[in-house]
Structure 1
Amino acid sequence: MSVRLQDQPWLTSAATRAVFAALETAGGPDCARFVGGSVRNALLGQAVADFDIATTLEPEAAFAAIQTAGLKAVPTGLAHGTVTAVSGHQPYEITTLRRDVTTDGRKATVAFTDDWSEDAARRDFRLNALYADLTGRIYDPTGQGIEDALAGRVIFVGDPVTRIREDYLRILRFFRFYAWYGRDAPDAAAMTACTAEVDGLARLSAERVSTELMKLLNAPDPRRAVQAMAATGVLAQLLPEAVAGIAFQRLCELTTDPVLRLAGLMPVDADGLRALARRLRLSNAVRDRLVAGAEAATAVRPDMDDRTARAAVYRLGARAVEDALIRQRAAMNSDPADDDRLTTLISGWTPPSLPVGGRDLARLGLAPGPDTGRLLKAFEAGWIADDFPVAGHEARLRALLDPTVSPPPG
């Protein structure tokens, strides 16, 4: 199938042409082609964010060519064949054509080659083994990558088990690409291979696993991919606690946030989510958000009144309250009117600062000491319960100092 990319500004930009000119000066015409995601996405009419270039030049020669042309060259991974050129503030990752010599399921020992078919044969899926030159002409060494991309098929290059055993992360990449590009049922041969090789996931680092998982959950609609993961045992291998039921299905309709979707796969259990974050080596920010949302779950409901909602936002933070509410909406299939009301309140209300402090109590005659903190906490509890009144603060403090004095009405 002869296909040419049309109307791609990045193909004709001065920055791109400068990189290709540098490489072709050293390696001759057709020594470099775009490869992978940029070609696939352009073919499908989707946004292109990253630019990977394959070249017949060996890494040191590519690095020298970029420098000689006056462009910034970064030795990203010379030993593995990769350098990065920066042109017009845009990075281009340039990798020498390779073939695998040995693999152990996590990383490969490679040899450089000038054979485009050998390079394509070591890639994961046929829709990713697509190359394009500066004219937009697409090269499809497997003969089926273009058809797969256009039809929404994610199919391994060659034998699926062989590809997976080269790098077990390809199991997760299969489901990730299916989430983003798959249309019909997942490829049967791939599903069988993923099921048979699922134990190999245990050999992967937590960081690689969590990165792929979050990319999958960031897809516009990851539900079918997650269901396929459950069917092959992959989901249970990664997240033994996961429940990809109707609540998760609804949650994916309510939010595109991958962190919240991850939370939706798990029981509402702060300790369990801490353990998950530790196991997957998630960032502290993601861990704290997961835990805060779980802890907020007992304090909020989709049908709570505005006063209760403001108190929850003040004590727990808007993000935690919103996360807990979205999960509960998914679980309870709540009234959309309540959803709209609370969403507007949470986004539009700024929690006030506590209007009194230790100096106010000292001014009323309280000597500094442990009673200061106790009384301020008591004031705060009453102030929150009365929905954050803006006046009467001194009278409330006097009532706390002298129980015989009645506090002002809330």
Structure 2
Amino acid sequence: MESQLKSDRLYREACTILETLEQHGFEARFAGGCVRDRILGRIPKDYDLACTAKPDEVCTIFRQKNMKVVPTGIDHGTVTVVAKFGAYEVTTLRKDVSTDGRHAQVVFGNSFEEDALRRDFTMNAMFEDRHGQVFDYFQGQEHLSKKELHFVGDARQRIREDFLRILRLFRFWARYNCSPNKQTLQAVEELAAGLAQISQERITQELIGLLEAGDIEQPLSQLFSSQIMVMIMPDAQPLSREEIAASAKVKIEFRAVVRLSVLLRQVTDPRQLEALCHKLKLSRKQHRMLEACNIWGQAVAQVPATQANFMALADQCEDMVEDFFLDGLLPAWSCLYPEHRSIINKARITEETKRYLRKAPLPIDTKDIMVKFNIVPGPRLGAVKDRLIESFRNESWHTRDEGLAWLEEHIQDISE
């Protein structure tokens, strides 16, 4: 309900921006992903707009209304209008003059159809006005209804314009369950070597987007069979259907890294893993989560399957990324290692209790400690509080009175 309300606000606000542009004599429509998602009945996360106004004209119109306008990509025709509920990219209609497989030189235009022609897939090449009329120049709605994924126009030409579209195809295949035909896949395989021109950051971003999707079995299998995965990540090993299904239960914020760890399960040397994270240009958080997965993979294979061992492992993982053990790893590994499921379930219950206690407020106020034990602010008070918090998290006591009694018994053992 909250996401729906937010989307309604964004939509109404975006419609107001369209109307404002129209009132100044320009044509303006919603563009790309938000149109696709509305057709599919999904809630768009944002709204991009396309218009006949030039970037400087867009800036003038909205600054006169005392709205913030950010020149996020002004050389390519894009500015961002910041309103009350969201930020909206407004892009001037364009057509390509030349491309080199990574970047395009564009000129501004006045044709929505020409602008659609330079987009990647037919599902992303549709426009919609503020009255709900959809402008579909390349059968995008038909392809969506048939769950087909088509490039706009000639597939080879679209790929040569930006070789990253090869990986975007696999990501959209997984996310929207729309499949490319044999001719499209043949074009992708023929031109896959062009990915060597693409920066590692952009490749990793697309790969993470693919791994976040729910059912990735077919697109991931095709990445391996076409040898594209070998080009972009030589150390990767295929995922089984069971591994894909198990990892689909992981929270989306952790899912991609968990799957990445299984793809890279043969990389067990910490130094090799460090080098690989650097090569893939992973974020620090992604790096730490991948380290946690690596610890898990080795532990499952090497240590006796006891609850104590799993809980010790949980402590290591939580030191790396909060909640990752409980919400990321346990759901996946309980499916991947059914022989350990009963022990893992016990570990989950224990860890859920620990998480609750970690986030629960301490029922003893600092003033209680200072008054009862005559301690003044300083290192001594800090050490006492740390020990008290630790004992509370370990369930040594639960109420204020129990905590004060516990502290009275142990305070002489606490050093600064």
TM-score (norm 1): 0.77
Query: Is residue 342 of structure 1 aligned with residue 338 of structure 2?
Result: no
Superposition pairs of residues 277-288 of structure 1, within 5 angstroms:
277-288=277-288
Query: Is residue 34 of structure 1 aligned with residue 30 of structure 2?
Result: yes
Counterpart CA distance in 1 for 2:164 and 2:11 is: 34
Q: Which runs of 5+ in 2 are unaligned?
A: 1-6, 359-393, 398-405
- The one-character-per-residue Cα deviations of 1:222-261 (angstroms, maximum 9, x if unpaired) are 2222112122222111111111232632433442411111
1:45 CA drift (Å): 0.5
Question: Matched residue of 1:163: which SS?
Answer: helix
Question: Matched residue of 1:343: which SS?
Answer: helix
CA contact (8 A) 1:300 1:325 kept: no
Query: Is residue 241 of structure 1 aligned with residue 235 of structure 2?
Result: yes
Question: Matched residue of 1:317: which SS?
Answer: helix
Superposition pairs of residues 189-338 of structure 1, within 5 angstroms:
189-246=183-240, 248-255=243-250, 256=252, 257-268=255-266, 269=268, 270-300=270-300, 304-317=305-318, 328-334=333-339, 336-338=341-343
Question: Matched residue of 2:131: which SS?
Answer: coil
Counterpart CA distance in 2 for 1:333 and 1:203 is: 43
Given the superposition, is the C-alpha separation of residues 252 and 327 from structure 1 closer, same or farther in structure 2, using an over 3 Å criterion? closer
1:202 CA drift (Å): 1.2
- Between Structure 1 and Structure 2, the one with more helix by share is 2
Counterpart CA distance in 1 for 2:61 and 2:395 is: 66
Question: Matched residue of 2:36: which SS?
Answer: helix
Aligned to 1:147: 142
Query: Is residue 186 of structure 1 aligned with residue 191 of structure 2?
Result: no
CA contact (8 A) 1:34 1:132 kept: yes
Aligned to 2:171: 176
Question: Matched residue of 1:131: which SS?
Answer: strand
1:72 CA drift (Å): 1.9
Counterpart CA distance in 1 for 2:317 and 2:214 is: 29
1:135 CA drift (Å): 0.5
1:212 CA drift (Å): 1.2
CA contact (8 A) 2:310 2:347 kept: yes
Q: Which runs of 5+ in 1 are unaligned?
A: 1-7, 353-386, 398-410
Query: Is residue 21 of structure 1 aligned with residue 15 of structure 2?
Result: no
Between the aligned residues of both structures, percent identity stands at 32
Question: Matched residue of 1:106: which SS?
Answer: coil
1:127 CA drift (Å): 0.7
- The runs of at least 4 consecutive aligned structure 1 residues that moved more than 6 Å come to 387-391
CA contact (8 A) 1:11 1:136 kept: no
Counterpart CA distance in 1 for 2:315 and 2:9 is: 47
CA contact (8 A) 1:22 1:69 kept: no
Query: Is residue 114 of structure 1 aligned with residue 110 of structure 2?
Result: yes
Given the superposition, is the C-alpha separation of residues 39 and 341 from structure 1 closer, same or farther in structure 2, using an over 3 Å criterion? same
CA contact (8 A) 2:208 2:256 kept: yes
Counterpart CA distance in 2 for 1:190 and 1:349 is: 51
CA contact (8 A) 2:10 2:47 kept: no
Counterpart CA distance in 2 for 1:43 and 1:217 is: 24
1:316 CA drift (Å): 4.8
1:209 CA drift (Å): 1.0
CA contact (8 A) 1:300 1:324 kept: no
CA contact (8 A) 1:300 1:321 kept: no
CA contact (8 A) 2:34 2:44 kept: yes
Worse-matched range after superposition: 284-293 or 45-54:
284-293
CA contact (8 A) 1:273 1:287 kept: no
1:338 CA drift (Å): 3.5
1:136 CA drift (Å): 0.5
1:325 CA drift (Å): 5.1
1:266 CA drift (Å): 1.1
Counterpart CA distance in 2 for 1:82 and 1:120 is: 16
TM-score (norm 2): 0.76
- The one-character-per-residue Cα deviations of 1:125-166 (angstroms, maximum 9, x if unpaired) are 001001000011100012x11111222211000111110110
How big is the alpha-carbon RMSD for the aligned residues of Structure 1 and Structure 2? 2.9
Counterpart CA distance in 2 for 1:287 and 1:312 is: 18
Question: Matched residue of 2:299: which SS?
Answer: coil
Between structure 1 and structure 2, the one with the greater Rg is: 1
